[in-house]
Structure 1
Amino acid sequence: MIHRKATEAGIFQPTEIGLLGRVFDQTKAANETTTEQEARASRIIANYMAGISDEKELIVLSRQALGR
């Protein structure tokens, strides 16, 4: 899921896609719907694009809803 979203964006290097994929895998929840997975993937990418590049910090932040 996140690999597709990141690849579609066309702005990430393979190492970045690897990082985003690891974060996505580590933040999955049981019985998560496709819609919830897409929202989580978007949060991970948004947090990364906001400058969060530390894997552990991305994991923590990406489990939380985006602030508005």
Structure 2
Amino acid sequence: MRAGQLEAQRGTRALFAEATAGRGDLTAFERQVLAATALTALAVAIDEWVAVDGRSARPELIDTAFAALGVDQS
């Protein structure tokens, strides 16, 4: 089961990385790192939203997660 989960994560990470191809001067490796980081930030925001029974706004939690990474969303 764990192997299947890891494979699914790799596949999702690859999709995110492919979506950023041609944007900027990033290597394929750098795009994979950014995709993995973005997915983790998103997962942590969703985990927090679930932990507080949806009392926090999901978009704000996601914004906060990316802000913690130093991502400028303006």
TM-score range, shorter chain: 0.3 to 0.5
Q: If you compute each CA radius of gyration, which structure gives the higher value, 1 or 2?
A: 2
Q: Which is bigger in relative contact order (C-alpha 8 A, separation at least 6)?
A: 1
Q: TM-score, normalised by structure 2?
A: 0.39
Higher helix fraction (1 or 2): 2
